[in-house]
Structure 1
Amino acid sequence: MTEKHELKRSLGLIDATSIVAGSMIGSGIFVVTVFMARDLGSAAWILITWLITGLLTMSAALSYGELAGMMPTAGGQFVYIQRAYGKLASFLYGWTVFTVIQTGVIAAVAVTFANYTAVFFPILQEEIFRIGDSFVFKNSQVLAMLSVVLLTYINTKGVKNGKVIQLVFTSAKLIALFALIGFGLYIGFSTDTFSNNFNNTWEASKTVFDETTKTVTVTKLTGIALVGAIGATIINSLFSSDAWNNVTFIAGEIKDPKKNIPRSLFLGTLIVTVIYILANIAYLALLPLNGSPEGSVVENGIMFAAQDRVGAAAANMIMGNIGVFVMAALIMVSTFGCNSGLVLSGGRLFYAMAKDNLFFKKAGELNKHDVPEKALWFQCVWACILCISGKYGDLLTYATFASLLFYILTIYGIFILRKKEPDAERPYKAFGYPVIPALYIILTAAICVALLIYDTVNTGLGLVIVALGIPVYYLFMNKRE
């Protein structure tokens, strides 16, 4: 008699929360404030943008809690979209997640891990070969792929192995981040840097550095221009706060999911929101906001931090030159732990798609450790191809807009299901319904409009990636007939 394998509910609240927080914290918090500083030129508006990001993320997470309680099965957001809108919409979500969102983030985080490892082992930055100026293959990309393969292999050996790695690395980076913030605030507030950064608090400006002429152009922002600038630059902080929904993909392996998934979504997003705001306050306490492209760490300021690494610049202010190595080690831990959660979660979404005949059939099988091994390897192969291509960064930019659209679609699904299925069991109801979910939809839609206006090419390409899934969907449907 063949042994029947099924997903085992072995993850508790702490495990689920560590997946939420661990998947969110990658390398973004150590970099993106530089871009936001150039786009807004105001410490107050930067902090407000991070606060808006945190509130949007938490309100979305609290809204997802209702859907997670109704549908505590593997696949998460894919399942929610299907129940509210049907198979085509859910497939387009899964298609975008596989082609770009999940695998693209895994590739980007893996390459970031390898690039920071190169701080200790410079040989990793050496080229293996290149094709003209368009394609360069380095040792760092080999390490990036090896890290993805290693994490995939570990996760094929059972969900317990994955949860141990996730817990260890998430704990390590949270401790290190709190230490960085604590020392940063202690040292920073002994100077007048923070108060100086808040001179002319509400005066916003966009700063552009021309690499060719080596000139800096500053444009004042007021009214609609300021609103548009916030709408465009918030994509940086939103990207840094993304992947919180990954815990819904593994609902089939969480104990008491009707309670633990909503709780983990709230706790994880709250922890990360607090950390991100405190980290930015620490940056503003240690470094001047404005600066110049050339000079010392202080002269560069946040706006022109070397190689856009504001986290490394802050660590340098705390510990001197050794801070570069300490920050590199922290980002290595952060990115490796982030990818652990992404690899673990993503395979479950593709498993759910395969069970619904909307992905490769083999991805719907469980191995002897009760995990979707083949789904994990499909994900691994495509992520490695993106590592080789070097195009994951572009793909992520294209897909961020599409990702926001799917968040809007999912949360609007709460309104649809309340009407379609008023008597369905809802162990947890969306916090502040209908006001908070509606506010999220309105604000996120406004951000999408700003992106369409200020970044038309990338948002358009994001829609193209989604649309390419339509013929693929009908191909899968025809194969079923």
Structure 2
Amino acid sequence: MSTEKTALSKSLSGVHLWGIAVGLVISGEYFGWSFGWASAGTLGFLVTTLFVAAMYVTFIFSFTELTTAIPHAGGPFAYSYRAFGPTGGFVAGFATLIEFVFAPPAIALAIGAYVNVQFPALDPKTVAVGAYILFMGLNIAGVGIAATFELFVTILAVFELLVFMGVVAPGFQWSNFTTNGWAGESTFTIGSIGGIFAAIPFAIWFFLAIEGAAMAAEEVKEPKKIVPRAYIAGILTLVFLAFGTMIFAGGVGDWTALSNINDPLPQAMKTVVGDSSGWFHMLVWIGILGLVASFHGIIMGYSRQIFALSRAGFLPGVLSTVHPTRKTPHWAIITGGVIGIAAIFSDNLITINGTTLTGNIVTMSVFGAIVMYIMSMLSLFKLRQSEPNLERPYIAPLYPIFPAIALVTGIVCLVAMIYYNFIVFGLFVGLFAIGFAYYAATGHLRAGAEGDLLLGTK
């Protein structure tokens, strides 16, 4: 396998990487999180979000050490491979693949819901498929073009969230936010604890996929300098937007009306300004751009994960082929898109216990993310022991406290999610079993894979 065939273009700046890090996530501010209100209430979900935000802040400050030491398109796959060998690489890589392949169909359905607000005659699923076709094409066109577009729509999406907070502020009342805020009860009870834990997947959705910027590290001009700045600025941006969006949306009226829909922000704004206001229509249109930022960015993320797994022999070699002129992994982009489109039309397979298709796709994606977070923190501890002389341009602050907090909170999230989403977890395990069977049967692919010094394999 020639190096030229699998070489990615280095063309990304620090601002590009911030745009990717925030853009990957920012759709989580526009939809998905409000499903957590149905489980925990507004106050209960606020507690859940504080817990999850603590996990993400400590995780990102720790994860950045790995990203700068091993700037590899596989991201967590590469770190776990280096720490624990091929099996560890498989676990982290396949978990990341599930996270990044299942997140886009949920976002695509939300794009369809937002477009349907403006054009009720358009079927949301048709719009979702159209979004896949359009943004797979943009990603194939070139990473520089894709990243510049990502930065543009991310800036617009951040601006629109600030506008949302400002426009609804006159209608905000703290009493609206706190009414029956503990899992539908007016006061905290023992039962509220269950709701707080059940809502974990939807609090994670606020921040899910920021780690995907690591998969672009191989395409950054100066990763050792740029990655820490982009990651830290990105997580701080997202924490502010998550809490601001949630609190303002919940305080403008009856929050229960927003707890099981794909477009909570337009509906919250409509309560304040009415559905004929220009502000309302602007939010819908720029809200679509926010969803597009994440959708587009996660397509970039899943394609790099598929590319890296293929290059290392964990997936068929054709998936690490890059376009001869665009230098983008076009077959990886197309393959992930086909799986995502199939998920959009899998209502009968994924709708479980009355939970919406979007809610269950979100949960499946979050299972992949949590397993990957745990593997990444274990890799950080292992590499500190096994490779003390590895060049680390950025050192995790307060080591071992920060990575330990991220690891423990990640394990708590995983246990709680299994308890409250056992059937989805069963599907997750089933996918892992299929993946492991393929892994066990294809050792010859890894034996003949391209040498990769960053993995320490050859």
Normalising by the residue count of structure 2, what TM-score does the alignment of the two structures yield?
A: 0.87
Q: Which residue of 2 aligns with 1:222?
A: 189
Q: Which residue of 2 aligns with 1:188?
A: 171
Q: Which residue of 2 aligns with 1:15?
A: 16
Structure 1, unaligned runs of 5 or more:
126-139, 208-217, 288-300
- How many equivalent residue pairs? 432
Q: Deviations over 1:346-371 (max 9, x none)?
A: 21111111111111211222221222
Q: SS where residue 237 of structure 2 aligns? A: helix
Structure 1 distance, partners of 2:152, 2:365, is: 30
Structure 2 distance, partners of 1:264, 1:252, is: 14
Of 300, 313, 326 in structure 2, the residue corresponding to residue 369 of structure 1 is 326
The amino acid of 1:279's aligned partner reads: T
| Contact persistence 1:31–1:310 (CA under 8 A) | yes
Structure 1 range deviating more: 465-474 or 28-37: 28-37
| Contact persistence 1:188–1:194 (CA under 8 A) | no
Q: Which residue of 2 aligns with 1:293?
A: none
Q: Which residue of 2 aligns with 1:120?
A: 118
The amino acid of 1:359's aligned partner reads: L
| Contact persistence 2:99–2:367 (CA under 8 A) | no
Structure 2, unaligned runs of 5 or more:
351-356, 448-458
CA drift of 1:238 comes to 0.4
Q: Alpha carbons of 1:322 and 1:33: their partners in 2 closer, same or farther (altered >3 Å)? A: farther
| Contact persistence 1:206–1:220 (CA under 8 A) | no
Structure 1 distance, partners of 2:335, 2:269, is: 38
Q: Which residue of 2 aligns with 1:150?
A: 134
Structure 2 distance, partners of 1:389, 1:283, is: 31
| Contact persistence 2:67–2:214 (CA under 8 A) | yes
Structure 1 range deviating more: 59-68 or 339-348: 339-348
CA drift of 1:220 comes to 6.4
Q: Which structure's residues are more often strand, by fraction?
A: 1
Structure 2 distance, partners of 1:250, 1:473, is: 25
Structure 2 distance, partners of 1:97, 1:443, is: 18
Q: Deviations over 1:129-159 (max 9, x none)?
A: xxxxxxxxxxx32332222122111221211
Q: SS where residue 119 of structure 1 aligns? A: helix
Q: Deviations over 1:380-399 (max 9, x none)?
A: 22222223334464344234
Q: Which residue of 2 aligns with 1:292?
A: none
Q: Which residue of 2 aligns with 1:46?
A: 45
| Contact persistence 1:53–1:234 (CA under 8 A) | yes
Q: Which residue of 2 aligns with 1:276?
A: 242
Structure 2 distance, partners of 1:196, 1:238, is: 24
Q: Which residue of 1 aligns with 2:423?
A: 457
CA drift of 1:307 comes to 5.6
The amino acid of 1:302's aligned partner reads: W
Q: Alpha carbons of 1:246 and 1:204: their partners in 2 closer, same or farther (altered >3 Å)? A: same
Q: Alpha carbons of 1:41 and 1:361: their partners in 2 closer, same or farther (altered >3 Å)? A: closer
Q: Which residue of 2 aligns with 1:210?
A: none
| Contact persistence 1:399–1:462 (CA under 8 A) | no
Structure 1 distance, partners of 2:317, 2:3, is: 19
Of 105, 108, 125 in structure 2, the residue corresponding to residue 110 of structure 1 is 108
| Contact persistence 2:153–2:290 (CA under 8 A) | yes
Q: Which residue of 2 aligns with 1:37?
A: 37
Q: Which residue of 1 aligns with 2:99?
A: 101
Q: Deviations over 1:182-208 (max 9, x none)?
A: 2222x135xxx2156458xxx86333x
| Contact persistence 2:31–2:110 (CA under 8 A) | no
CA drift of 1:402 comes to 3.7
- Counterparts of 1:135-174 in structure 2, within 5 Å, are 140-174=124-158
Normalising by the residue count of structure 1, what TM-score does the alignment of the two structures yield?
A: 0.83
| Contact persistence 2:67–2:227 (CA under 8 A) | yes
Q: Alpha carbons of 1:124 and 1:306: their partners in 2 closer, same or farther (altered >3 Å)? A: farther
Q: Which residue of 1 aligns with 2:256?
A: 303
| Contact persistence 2:18–2:234 (CA under 8 A) | yes
| Contact persistence 1:14–1:264 (CA under 8 A) | yes
Q: Alpha carbons of 1:399 and 1:164: their partners in 2 closer, same or farther (altered >3 Å)? A: closer
Q: Alpha carbons of 1:118 and 1:277: their partners in 2 closer, same or farther (altered >3 Å)? A: same
